[in-house]
Amino acid sequence: MATRCGFQNLIGGSFVDSHSSDSIDVLNPATQEVVSRVPLTTKDEFKSAVAAAKEAFPSWRNTPITTRQRVMFKLQDLIRKNTRFWFWLSPYHEHFLEEVVEHACGMATLQMGEYVANVSNGIDTYSIREPLGVCAGICPFNFPAMIPLWMFPVAVTCGNTYVLKPSEKDPGASMILAELAMEAGLPNGVLNIVHGTHDIVNAICDDDDIRAVSFVGSNTAGMHIYARASASGKRVQSNMGAKNHGIVMPDANVDATLNALVAAGFGAAGQRCMALSTVVFVGDSKLWEDKLVERAKALKVSAGTDPEADLGPVISKQVRQRKGSASWYKAGSKVEQDCLLDGRTIKVPGYEQGNFIGPTILADVTADMECYKEEIFGPVLICMQADSLEEAINIVNRNKYGNGAAIFTSSGIAARKFQTEIEAGQVGINVPIPVPLPFFSFTGSKASFAGDLNFYGKAGVQFYIQIKTVTQQWKDLPSGAGVSLAMPTSQKS
Amino acid sequence: MATRCGFQNLIGGSFVDSHSSDSIDVLNPATQEVVSRVPLTTKDEFKSAVAAAKEAFPSWRNTPITTRQRVMFKLQDLIRKNTRFWFWLSPYHEHFLEEVVEHACGMATLQMGEYVANVSNGIDTYSIREPLGVCAGICPFNFPAMIPLWMFPVAVTCGNTYVLKPSEKDPGASMILAELAMEAGLPNGVLNIVHGTHDIVNAICDDDDIRAVSFVGSNTAGMHIYARASASGKRVQSNMGAKNHGIVMPDANVDATLNALVAAGFGAAGQRCMALSTVVFVGDSKLWEDKLVERAKALKVSAGTDPEADLGPVISKQVRQRKGSASWYKAGSKVEQDCLLDGRTIKVPGYEQGNFIGPTILADVTADMECYKEEIFGPVLICMQADSLEEAINIVNRNKYGNGAAIFTSSGIAARKFQTEIEAGQVGINVPIPVPLPFFSFTGSKASFAGDLNFYGKAGVQFYIQIKTVTQQWKDLPSGAGVSLAMPTSQKS
Amino acid sequence: MATRCGFQNLIGGSFVDSHSSDSIDVLNPATQEVVSRVPLTTKDEFKSAVAAAKEAFPSWRNTPITTRQRVMFKLQDLIRKNTRFWFWLSPYHEHFLEEVVEHACGMATLQMGEYVANVSNGIDTYSIREPLGVCAGICPFNFPAMIPLWMFPVAVTCGNTYVLKPSEKDPGASMILAELAMEAGLPNGVLNIVHGTHDIVNAICDDDDIRAVSFVGSNTAGMHIYARASASGKRVQSNMGAKNHGIVMPDANVDATLNALVAAGFGAAGQRCMALSTVVFVGDSKLWEDKLVERAKALKVSAGTDPEADLGPVISKQVRQRKGSASWYKAGSKVEQDCLLDGRTIKVPGYEQGNFIGPTILADVTADMECYKEEIFGPVLICMQADSLEEAINIVNRNKYGNGAAIFTSSGIAARKFQTEIEAGQVGINVPIPVPLPFFSFTGSKASFAGDLNFYGKAGVQFYIQIKTVTQQWKDLPSGAGVSLAMPTSQKS
Amino acid sequence: MATRCGFQNLIGGSFVDSHSSDSIDVLNPATQEVVSRVPLTTKDEFKSAVAAAKEAFPSWRNTPITTRQRVMFKLQDLIRKNTRFWFWLSPYHEHFLEEVVEHACGMATLQMGEYVANVSNGIDTYSIREPLGVCAGICPFNFPAMIPLWMFPVAVTCGNTYVLKPSEKDPGASMILAELAMEAGLPNGVLNIVHGTHDIVNAICDDDDIRAVSFVGSNTAGMHIYARASASGKRVQSNMGAKNHGIVMPDANVDATLNALVAAGFGAAGQRCMALSTVVFVGDSKLWEDKLVERAKALKVSAGTDPEADLGPVISKQVRQRKGSASWYKAGSKVEQDCLLDGRTIKVPGYEQGNFIGPTILADVTADMECYKEEIFGPVLICMQADSLEEAINIVNRNKYGNGAAIFTSSGIAARKFQTEIEAGQVGINVPIPVPLPFFSFTGSKASFAGDLNFYGKAGVQFYIQIKTVTQQWKDLPSGAGVSLAMPTSQKS
């Protein structure tokens, strides 16, 4: 856990101080205060964590699935009751915490093998789902509790053991989750935590005892991990960047649509992969821009701990500086007045040092502008325009990302056309980009995801298990029968 | 198809001669005669093939699933009726051809999305399975018809289009299959065929328009492809080498077990990934070695076209020479007499130039010997020994491969222990390593497979599709409702 | 098959003449000619048919599922190629024949059991799906080929044996199907055919060797069979009457909607359970009635063998007389002029004796009128009216039947409200009542269906199988351990 | 709940006294003391309960599935923590309480519909699972908490509302469960409780507002309910009597087998449908009878509240008298000495009035004896004998019941033959008859079950839901297209 000296590693069931001489400061983004320190877990400590996970595996994989499920039932209860989270989570308005844990409570059903009796005379075939061994997860800063909860509950309930690397920017929630998981009955060594940045990520990718890696974060890191961990034969699932578009049809419900755009565009200060960062107004719906600005102006920017805050600060000073620079959102833009709302100069009383950016709206953006090409990950809503649904869909499909896209319309025909033709993994119809509930999966596509099996849901379970196929023959075999060299299970008819 | 000048490319529905100046001779392994020639498809021709697949995709993916299934029903019928195969397949005693095609006939059921109404008030979530786009398959020589049929029928019935690279050693079966598929109604460009070796493999790995690669073959090639194709963000499934063990318990049925060992050890001249190449005799079952030799001796070695042949030739002269060399199977072996049966010097009348190796049995092999450490891929059966089932299982689990393993016993306790503890993807109980029927998957593990989703079965279908998750809200929304910035689908309770 | 003396029974693989002295004439409904005769299978012959099915069961249930599937693959091919059907089917414009057979081709996947290893220490549980034994099907006249094909292909591919009772009005198609099934490889006794009316139906309900009964037909017969067969402990699935409504919203596409109404209202002369017999015009869409009459008038009424016929005759003289009577459709109606189109007096040249009724449209019908309360099963379209979607849905939901309902609209909101609130098993949105493709099920509800498991799809498979749950423990048990009387599989944690 | 005057009805969320003048005494079977009184719920009160359930339905079915699941998560927690149960449950040594509630926590996954896009051009089909409405459960005395928990948690989590009739012999546990369910958040009217005997059972069968009935109990009652409730069109699942056999092979582990026989034969005083009441010794295993008697003698018979009791009393004086009578277990028996152990005359100090029967073992029983033909439901173990496994299987299969059967053996061949050929729904291999964990179903067969869909597991969920199949078409339809009268969704190819 966190001591005066900073966060600890969790190895084999014990929270232990790192011997690393290097550490990273965790800052409160609203004040720049140092909240804690994260060590750079040393190579030896990392090896110990993997070794602890490896040692815990045989016993944990042989623990009945019903017992493993019961740990999740208790964890669900503990998460719901626990309030210690909120200190760490408050800047992020995080919900959706216990959902994936609840999903893991039904693991026996989710990981069933299959049985076919008598596939050929006297021969049965069946499949068994087995855990992989040691798995690892690498987490981003923006959902410090939700993303770890997408990873280890599924993995360990399948019977795997785990090495988790939280974001070095906010590892606190992961530490508490680990404590709760052990309180719920997770044996020592089943969940381990290490800290750090590039080096530890590479160590995870390269380690021969790690069988699978889950990652959520930026495209640069995600593609690096996908390639590097694959090169050593691992399974990888990598959830990456996004540029989520919302298409607004003129027949949409005006109020509901504008509310949705403001909520999805500025919620969490735009720092979530499901933020809706680009609006494509079709035809006359462009006229609603003014109302959009009006509603965005009404949002309150303050520290995440302020219960009335609609937007908190962005995660770090560097991000704020980069994003706040004049060059950033005008690049490629022709006229200054395209900035309908400018949040650069906002001051939040009492938090003058905070990394704040106010709601910002850019109009008349085109696909060649810098502000469109990059993932901004801040409270900036970009407005584009199209003459037809067809054209709007083309704009979205030409974007390299495929995380999510939404349409706002009252027409069943428009919605079905959009749903069918849009190239994005999460599709919203009159809802901004939704995070699917955990019995479905988080299904990014194109450059937003690398891998075969998405996070949580049924796919997420499959990512953490492998199939063993058994063919059995139990019969009083005739003695001295002739030898046939044909392949054994081929059916004859 | 094959012309006098050799095999052609299949691009956009047309069989066309390659402009390549290089080609590879296809030899009859029983005679060294040149049967045909395979061109090295040029870079431009490859690009044309991918372009043809890409062009065919939009229309094919929008073809109703029921229509795509009907093409498979017709292909099943054509494969069953067609006899042209047997010229190309005869050396390999191939069965199991139409099975995966039959599995693809049920694709509508296999690729269903899921629907949950009212996940929160007035909101429904559902998932749709969609094809990926252009996919590619890289095939080995040993099952020239079966392996291509593991790949493209599943892929195209899911709505993908395909670029197939058959083995340069025997592309004939693939060419006929493509002809039949088109006769069955597969539109132009949905299946394309290119030829070649390393360069074409790398081109497939690197091409940005190819979304997924299926590979069956050696470990060296397979790991190269897994890493290289992953580096460009592709999905990869790679089925690789094997060292399949059979554990013989003293309580096994003697006759049935020996027959199974001979069949699985020497069938297809050992050139299949499901060959059972290593026997581990537990306790007194070692005494059965003599009978094993006796039965192996009775096998007839001849050209694959000889209907009475039990074993055909190995695939190429080089392989024969390497495998036949004295150094090969004695490496690490202490005494000559451990070779219970020596097939090196076999002569097959009428086929004096053939790449023949007779059934060979090596006794008292230990895990440190060369002949054990490598995949032999020839008609060589290696015999080891253990004092207990525990020890025998440890021998198997220490081997890097995890393709298949079998036990021969009459004890339910032994079988269950084996099934539970053995680290192999295909498990046989009183059957040598089976190829699972296509409603299951071919589930190699450890070094025998890289990827998340195995070939055919339900996993094979998932490899070729991606999930789109749709969340829809259709309600008369109240106007002017307040804005909440919480994530949209998070459940509240 | 059919001889001069009429149709034969099929018992144990042989077509045999009935010894019954009674028979029923099969008439050509377009001419009243006697086409053939159907015997009333005697009690003894019925017993023989059941006995043959019972005898065939042990061997057929032990035939590998893959072999049983192959019979279906061949049957699919034979049905597609065979033209002998069309004599018997021509009056009914029947499609959708091979679909359920194709579904049965994937039976291995559809009937998989499930496997969970190590549910508690050293204990595995798995389930196996097994056939029931002898099953029976009782068919209606209106789809003489399709309905038998909903029944026996699913049942026999699951491993059951079958006794089929076709409609006494048109058993010809069933006879041909049985012939083809045997040609495809169905062993003797697996499918048997008996003929008759009430007595044979009761004999089926009461027979102790029959385990399950499938029925499609009228409500009176269906409820009788559901109660009587249940009383002897059988499974029953009973598909019964319908009164399918189409709600027309003013925002619907006029042309597409009218075409759909005419097709679904008058196709098969209204004699199908999916006929759309009642239109509810919401608001101004009532104004489209004139155009509806216009299109209905353009339909050609003639013998089913006339390739240009849009409507054929109804099934029997009695039906025609009852339906054609003036009292019939005016009962409860206030004014004569509500009959917008009157088909009673139609004459079809060359078929003066045919049971023809022309397209008939009644307007301003209310829920208390006779013509609304009964299932008409003829080419009569009833028009009602509602002021709002809410009111229209209430009209439909108050009807006792729940087979199908459709809405025509361009509004996503209207469609979702309809889909959610309507009490009907088959829902069409801009399609008239659809027959679901066979990977779904035919899901009537309320008075239109009795039973738990619908026809075909996954539910249809489950109807014909039972689950066996196996719990196995294979371990070296410690000797002399103490006795615990707790229930054995209860999990402890 | 229970007042001084006895148990109350639960109607619409309120526990209310019955106005019935009749009531039944609930006795402590160990002392004959009157513990409480159960009213005979009046017809009007019953109608009120159904009406309350009907009224609660629309709102509850529209409550999001995720919210309904959360109620089950809380109920699971409450059941685990609550100790009030044990007063009511103590005589029955009941475990397996929260398991089915845990299963219901995964309902969103268990009740997913399916989605196939583009089944034909521009048409999508999907299915939605919906609750039925008001459902009812009729419970037996022997598991006063477990059986109600098999019923209402599954039903209400699917969105149904419920009327529960506990056993009139011990309704206490049901009352507490209802209290806990409401504490967990179940809204008023979703679960209602009525009391009584035949009349209330018939009222449930006949009520038009009840859509489905679940029953567990005797064959006489079960078949009556199956027939009567079916006659009014309901779904019924009826779990009935049992005669569970254990086959003992000479190669079985002696100690483990004898322990299992004693535990399964005498646990809960034999009063459970999974009691193993008949042993079939094959060959020399008969010699183990003496040891069996020895172990049975060592069991302690006492009140259920005695923590050291192995066996409690049987449920009522009448049962005890019937079962204890000399005529009972000798009927058809030739010689007195076949009674190896006689529990008739047992006296339990301190509980002289208790309905106690001690462990009783009858040897050399044959299938024609009375004691074999009836379900005894007491602590009586019957021993039979067979010369071969074949013969032993035949004995079991000739019995009319099909609840469960077990084999004790070390042979994989014997186990597989048994598993394949035995006609019983629950199969144990080296475990006495197991109650399957709730991700499987309780799958009795033959006379032990009537219905299509078994209790709990996936089948149990399907019993409580119906399928709605939606076909949607959203396209810009061409105007004025010609009319086709073919059935709308039939695929063309």
pLDDT in tens, D90-140: 555 566 689 999 999 999 999 999 999 999 888 999 999 999 999 999 999
pLDDT in tens, B380-411: 899 999 999 999 999 999 999 999 999 999 99
Distance separating alpha carbons of residues D434 and D457, to the nearest angstrom: 15
pTM over 0.90, yes/no: yes
CA of D259: how far to CAs of C486, D265, D363, D383, D389, in Å? 12, 10, 18, 15, 21
By the 8 A CB rule, do D111 and D461 touch? yes
The whole-number average pLDDT for the span C205-209 is: 98
Beta-carbon separation of D413 and A475 below 8 A: yes
- Chains near D (3 or more Cβ pairs under 8 Å): A, B, C
The whole-number average pLDDT for the span A6-24 is: 94
Distance separating alpha carbons of residues A374 and A382, to the nearest angstrom: 11
By the 8 A CB rule, do C188 and C56 touch? yes
Looking at every residue in chain B, the average pLDDT score rounds to: 88
**Quick one: pLDDT band at residue C492, thresholds 50, 70, 90?**
very low
Q: Which of B124, C30, B449 is nearest to D112 (CA)?
A: B124
- Chains near B (3 or more Cβ pairs under 8 Å): A, C, D
Q: How far is A185 from chain B (nearest CA, A)?
A: 25
pLDDT score, position A304: 73
Count of C-beta atoms within a 10 Å radius of residue D14: 12
Backbone angles phi, psi at A322, to 5 degrees: -60, -50
Looking at every residue in chain C, the average pLDDT score rounds to: 88
Looking at every residue in chain A, the average pLDDT score rounds to: 88
Distance separating alpha carbons of residues A487 and B89, to the nearest angstrom: 14
Residue D82 clears pLDDT 70, i.e. is over it: yes
**Residue C14 DSSP one-character state:** E
Tokens encoding B341? 């049966």
Q: Looking at chain C from residue 400 to 459, which residues have their Cβ under 8 Å from any Cβ of chain D?
A: 415, 419, 424-437, 439-443, 445, 447, 450-454, 459
pLDDT score, position D34: 87
Q: Looking at chain B from residue 32 to 61, which residues have their Cβ under 8 Å from any Cβ of chain D?
A: none
By the 8 A CB rule, do A266 and A381 touch? yes
CA of A285: how far to CAs of A235, A396, A418, B214, D94, in Å? 45, 17, 17, 46, 64
Residue D328 clears pLDDT 70, i.e. is over it: no
- Residue of chain A whose Cα is closest to the Cα of D98: A70
pLDDT in tens, C369-417: 888 887 777 888 999 999 999 999 999 999 999 999 999 999 999 999 9
pLDDT score, position B26: 85
- The percent of residues above 90 in pLDDT, for chain A, comes to 67
pLDDT in tens, C56-95: 999 999 999 999 999 999 999 999 888 666 555 555 556 6
Beta-carbon separation of D493 and B119 below 8 A: no
pLDDT score, position D490: 36
Higher per-residue pLDDT: B443 or C303: B443
The whole-number average pLDDT for the span D218-226 is: 96
Q: Which residues of B are identified as catalytic?
A: 273
Higher per-residue pLDDT: A296 or D31: A296
Higher per-residue pLDDT: D8 or D302: D8
- The percent of residues above 90 in pLDDT, for chain B, comes to 67
pLDDT score, position D137: 98
**Quick one: pLDDT band at residue A354, thresholds 50, 70, 90?**
confident
Q: Looking at chain D from residue 225 to 284, which residues have their Cβ under 8 Å from any Cβ of chain C?
A: 226-227, 230-231, 233, 235-237, 253-256, 259-260, 262-264, 266-268, 272, 274
**Quick one: pLDDT band at residue B326, thresholds 50, 70, 90?**
very low
Residue A45 clears pLDDT 90, i.e. is over it: yes
| CB contact set of C399 (below 8 Å; sequence gap of 6+) | C243, C245, C367
Chain C residues close to B420, C-beta within 8 Å = 117-118
For chains C and D, CB pairs below 8 A equal: 289
Residue A481 clears pLDDT 60, i.e. is over it: no
> What's the complex ipTM?
0.92
- Cα B481 from chain centroid (whole Å): 58
Q: Does D66 reach chain B within 8 Å, measured CB to CB?
A: yes
Count of C-beta atoms within a 10 Å radius of residue B169: 18
pLDDT score, position B488: 45
Q: Which of B159, B155, B156, B163 is nearest to B137 (CA)?
A: B163
Residue B272 clears pLDDT 80, i.e. is over it: no
Distance separating alpha carbons of residues B409 and C381, to the nearest angstrom: 71
pLDDT score, position A493: 36
Q: How far is C69 from chain A (nearest CA, A)?
A: 10
**Quick one: pLDDT band at residue D6, thresholds 50, 70, 90?**
confident
pLDDT in tens, D431-447: 998 889 999 999 999 99
Distance separating alpha carbons of residues C404 and C395, to the nearest angstrom: 13
Residue B5 clears pLDDT 80, i.e. is over it: no
Distance separating alpha carbons of residues B151 and B135, to the nearest angstrom: 10
Distance separating alpha carbons of residues A242 and A295, to the nearest angstrom: 24
Q: Give me Rg for the CA atoms of chain A.
A: 25
In this complex, which of A99, A431, A470 lies closest to B488 when CB atoms are compared?
A431
Q: Give me Rg for the CA atoms of chain D.
A: 25
pLDDT score, position B351: 87
The whole-number average pLDDT for the span C270-280 is: 84
**Quick one: pLDDT band at residue A258, thresholds 50, 70, 90?**
very high
pLDDT in tens, D398-416: 999 999 999 999 999 999 9
- Alpha-helical (H) ranges within D30-106 are 43-61, 65-81, 85-89, 98-104
Higher per-residue pLDDT: C436 or A484: C436
Residue A488 clears pLDDT 70, i.e. is over it: no
Q: Which of A194, A383, A226, A413 is nearest to A291 (CA)?
A: A383
By the 8 A CB rule, do A179 and A85 touch? no
pLDDT in tens, A188-241: 999 999 999 999 999 999 999 999 999 999 999 999 999 999 999 999 999 999
CA of C309: how far to CAs of C268, C304, C351, C392, D482, in Å? 10, 6, 13, 33, 15
Q: Does D491 reach chain B within 8 Å, measured CB to CB?
A: yes
Higher per-residue pLDDT: B378 or D201: D201
Long-range contacts of B54-59 (CB under 8 A, 24+ apart): B54/B133, B54/B134, B54/B161, B54/B209, B55/B12, B55/B189, B56/B12, B56/B161, B56/B187, B56/B188, B56/B189, B56/B190, B57/B131, B57/B133, B57/B134, B57/B160, B57/B161, B59/B187
Backbone angles phi, psi at C268, to 5 degrees: 50, 30
**Quick one: pLDDT band at residue B84, thresholds 50, 70, 90?**
low
- Residue of chain B whose Cα is closest to the Cα of A422: B468
The whole-number average pLDDT for the span B282-298 is: 94
Residue C360 clears pLDDT 70, i.e. is over it: yes
| CB contact set of A220 (below 8 Å; sequence gap of 6+) | none
Q: Does B475 reach chain C within 8 Å, measured CB to CB?
A: yes
Q: Which of A464, A447, A468 is nearest to A455 (CA)?
A: A464
Beta-carbon separation of B114 and A432 below 8 A: no
Residue B250 clears pLDDT 70, i.e. is over it: yes
| CB contact set of B467 (below 8 Å; sequence gap of 6+) | A425, A441, A443, A454, A459, B113, B127, B128, B129, B130
Higher per-residue pLDDT: C433 or B398: B398
pLDDT score, position A99: 93
pLDDT score, position B12: 98
pLDDT score, position D291: 95
What ranges make up the beta strands (E) of B316-403?
A: 339-341, 360-362, 380-386, 401-402
Distance separating alpha carbons of residues B137 and D195, to the nearest angstrom: 67
Q: Does D119 reach chain C within 8 Å, measured CB to CB?
A: yes
Question: Which residues lie across from D439 on neighbouring strands?
Answer: none
pLDDT in tens, D229-286: 999 999 999 999 999 999 999 999 999 999 999 999 887 777 777 889 999 999 999 9
Distance separating alpha carbons of residues C126 and D416, to the nearest angstrom: 13
**Quick one: pLDDT band at residue A78, thresholds 50, 70, 90?**
very high
pLDDT in tens, A208-219: 999 999 999 999
CA dihedral B321, B325, B329, B333 (to 10 degrees): -160
* Cα angle for residues D361, D363, D364 (degrees, 5° grid): 160
- The percent of residues above 70 in pLDDT, for chain C, comes to 88
Beta-carbon separation of A491 and C117 below 8 A: no
pLDDT score, position D142: 85
CA of A337: how far to CAs of A320, A360, A371, B28, B182, in Å? 22, 12, 15, 76, 59
pLDDT in tens, C285-303: 999 999 999 999 999 888 8
Q: Which of B267-271, D289-293, D350-354 comes out lowest in average pLDDT? A: B267-271
pLDDT score, position B381: 92
- The percent of residues above 90 in pLDDT, for chain C, comes to 66
In this complex, which of D428, D437, D477 lies closest to C119 when CB atoms are compared?
D437
The whole-number average pLDDT for the span D287-312 is: 87
